[in-house]
Amino acid sequence: MKKRKRIGILFLLMILIGIAIAFPTLKKLHYVLTLFDKEKIVENFRTFDQVWPVSRLLPSPEPFVYPKGQPISLPDNFDYAGRKFNTKSFFEDSNTMGFLVIQNDSIVFEQYYLGHTEQTKSISWSLAKSFISALVGIAIEEGHIKNVLETVDTYVPELKGSAYEGVTIKNILQMSSGVRFNEDYGDFNSDINRWGRSFALGTSQDAFVKTLTREREQGTYNHYVSINTHILGMVLKRATGESVTKYMQEKFWNPVGMEHDSYWVVDNTGMEVVLCALNATLRDYAKIGSVYLNKGNWNGKQIVSEEWVTISTTPDAPHLIPGDNPNSTHDLGYGYQWWIPEGDQGEFQGQGVYNQTIYVNPTTKTVIVKLSANDKFNDKSHIPSRHDSTLELFRAVVARATAGGGA
């Protein structure tokens, strides 16, 4: 009887150990599956470090604090698709968490919503891609990478035999890799959602890359593939000999003067999720816009070369031109991990799903950042979910900021 009791206790102990081991993975999987639920999305977007392992970025030892400019009020309404839309309702309907307007390198509007503050860190989603592009430019300037025409497997030999064998760094930067990928967040079985679930279950990003295939010749078609940016992360890590976090801290975060601590979510190998998982504050996101607005020179330091800024924000091939383009899946143009809308003012922007945007207008010297947790993002009939409606809001704000800003 005592022997049976001991076996029963041992069996129960094994079950409890198994549950304890499995619990973190199950918690992550549940987090991914409920990440965008209406009642959870806002809090989820600012609490990734409570669930996932992270790699920390420290505030710059010489933080840059934007000076205050002449305050502006936002326009009550703006025009889009032949109709007027109320700005306040647009903000509410897209779960805006923060909105910042920088005019001539000074803050002219800053407002937080839904419990956000100036210290709150929230997830970048694909805004992170523009930061990674900057790091690639710095690595080329420092000689770690020879040029963008090198193939990625030059630096990451294990990519030979994968869909990325022979693909140039340039075609990765320009989302023209030719790799087959479904980026539809509303499709449970899409590649991006398959990646999210495998990541939660502990599959490394490097391993996931090997599940992808090629569908087109590289450099001929603009097709957005988030995993392309992970390839850039792999190249950066091998070329510099440092983690993305360490290189970013030394070459970008510190010299730009980031005010607050931030972090990258990392996978089970410690590799940063460079395609989407930088977590930072509203003002610190704005600073990459300010750096690029000023041709890579910020606060007297050349952070990124002027040449890199120019080529990063200029479409240089037919399939990258904005508008109705048969060789692109999008009506926006594309550079080196920056989006380029149609227009005559040289605008460009970083974009992340669920309505994260860093907008830069070099002609008017304006940077605008909008952080959001739009639970209706996958419903394109919902006007605030459309990138072109947000662009028209920004243009209306630019008009207000450059006209003196009064109500």
Under the banding of pLDDT at 50, 70 and 90, the label for residue 255 is very high
Query: Is the model's pLDDT at 407 over the cut of 70?
Result: no
Query: Is the model's pLDDT at 3 over the cut of 80?
Result: no
The pLDDT of residue 314 is 98
Distance between CA atoms of 220 and 338, rounded to whole angstroms? 18
The amino acid sitting at 143 is G
Under the banding of pLDDT at 50, 70 and 90, the label for residue 22 is very low
Under the banding of pLDDT at 50, 70 and 90, the label for residue 225 is very high
Query: Is the model's pLDDT at 340 over the cut of 60?
Result: yes
Separation of CA 341 from chain center: 18
The pLDDT of residue 24 is 65
The pLDDT of residue 9 is 52
Query: Is the model's pLDDT at 8 over the cut of 70?
Result: no
Cα angle at 140 between 313 and 181, to 5 degrees?
Answer: 60
The pLDDT of residue 28 is 78
Which residues does 147 contact at the CB level (< 8 Å), separation at least 6? 140, 169
Under the banding of pLDDT at 50, 70 and 90, the label for residue 262 is very high
Distance between CA atoms of 56 and 53, rounded to whole angstroms? 10
Least confident of 12-26, 50-64, 85-99: 12-26
Q: DSSP label at 291?
A: H
Under the banding of pLDDT at 50, 70 and 90, the label for residue 198 is confident
Question: Mind listing the pLDDT tens digit for each residue in 82-97?
Answer: 999 999 999 999 999 9
The pLDDT of residue 201 is 84
Question: Mind listing the pLDDT tens digit for each residue in 313-333?
Answer: 999 999 999 999 999 999 999
> Is the overall model pTM greater than 0.95, yes or no?
no
Under the banding of pLDDT at 50, 70 and 90, the label for residue 290 is very high
The pLDDT of residue 2 is 56
Report the mean per-residue pLDDT for the chain: 93
Q: Are residues 389 and 377 in contact, defined by beta-carbon separation less than 8 angstroms?
A: no
The pLDDT of residue 99 is 98
Share of the chain above pLDDT 90, in %: 85
As given in the structure block, the two tokens for residue 86 are: 């109320």
The pLDDT of residue 25 is 73
The amino acid sitting at 394 is F
Distance between CA atoms of 316 and 149, rounded to whole angstroms? 14
More confident residue, 201 or 336: 336
Under the banding of pLDDT at 50, 70 and 90, the label for residue 109 is very high
In 165-253, which ranges are continuous DSSP H helix?
Answer: 169-173, 191-200, 205-209, 227-240, 244-248
